């Protein structure tokens, strides 16, 4: 075997030789790792895009049919006039505007009734509080407050059930089907 020190020159240059080899090998491994990582990620991206494209292609016929049906339903629901006359409001348009206005008026009346009842409850509660201080014993006070609490919670429940739209069938609660019949 040949002596390493003889080929490199001095004795300290052997460490430099190993450091140079380690650096070159490290750089080659880093480049190989980056190349393989990029290759794997590109293949993964291609596979995901291919899968997404195939799923879209499978459902494209169904999506097209739904879109076409939606257009037909829009056409059938209301009278469609030719372009110069489509600026004139139709009966369906006027009917929709009237329904919205009636709904706004009803909501405003309900809100006004709620505000009025709340103010009456507050004034009645204040009056009762002044009367309670003078006349009632502890047991009577507890009874009156309990009745008042039960009445207020029943009113809140009634208001909650009134606010739920009649055509809401999202819950499977059996109370929803009997709402219109029991008052």
b/e map 27-52, b = 16+ CB within 10 Å = eeeeeeeeeeeeeeeeeeeeeeeeee
Predicted confidence band of residue 183 (pLDDT cuts 50, 70, 90): very low
| Percent of the chain whose predicted confidence (pLDDT) is above 90 | 27
Asked whether 179 and 166 are in contact (CB, 8 A), the reply is yes
Gyration radius of the chain's alpha carbons: 40
What pLDDT is stored for residue 182 in this prediction? 47
pTM (2 d.p.): 0.31
Q: Is the pLDDT of residue 130 over 90?
A: no
* Distance of alpha carbon 137 from alpha carbon 129, whole angstroms: 13
Encode pLDDT of 40-83 as tens digits: 999 999 999 999 999 888 888 888 888 888 888 877 776 667 77
What pLDDT is stored for residue 124 in this prediction? 57
The DSSP letter of residue 171 is: S
């Amino acid at each position: 075997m040949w002596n390493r020190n003889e080929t490199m020159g001095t004795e300290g240059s052997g460490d430099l030789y190993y450091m140079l080899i380690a650096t070159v090998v490290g750089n080659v491994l880093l480049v190989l790792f980056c190349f393989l990582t990029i290759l794997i990620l590109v293949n993964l991206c291609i596979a995901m895009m291919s899968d997404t494209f195939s799923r879209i292609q499978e459902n494209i016929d169904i999506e097209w049919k739904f879109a076409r049906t939606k257009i037909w339903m829009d056409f059938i629901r209301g009278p469609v006039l030719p372009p110069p006359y489509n600026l004139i409001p139709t009966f369906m348009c006027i009917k929709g505007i009237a329904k919205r206005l009636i709904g706004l008026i009803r909501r405003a009346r309900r809100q006004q009734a709620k505000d009025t009842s709340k103010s009456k409850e507050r004034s009645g509660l204040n009056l009762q509080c002044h009367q309670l201080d003078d006349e009632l014993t502890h047991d009577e006070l507890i009874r009156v407050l309990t009745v008042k609490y039960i009445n207020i919670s029943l009113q809140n429940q009634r208001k909650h059930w009134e606010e739920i739209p009649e055509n809401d069938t999202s819950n499977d609660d059996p109370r929803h089907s009997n709402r219109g019949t029991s008052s």
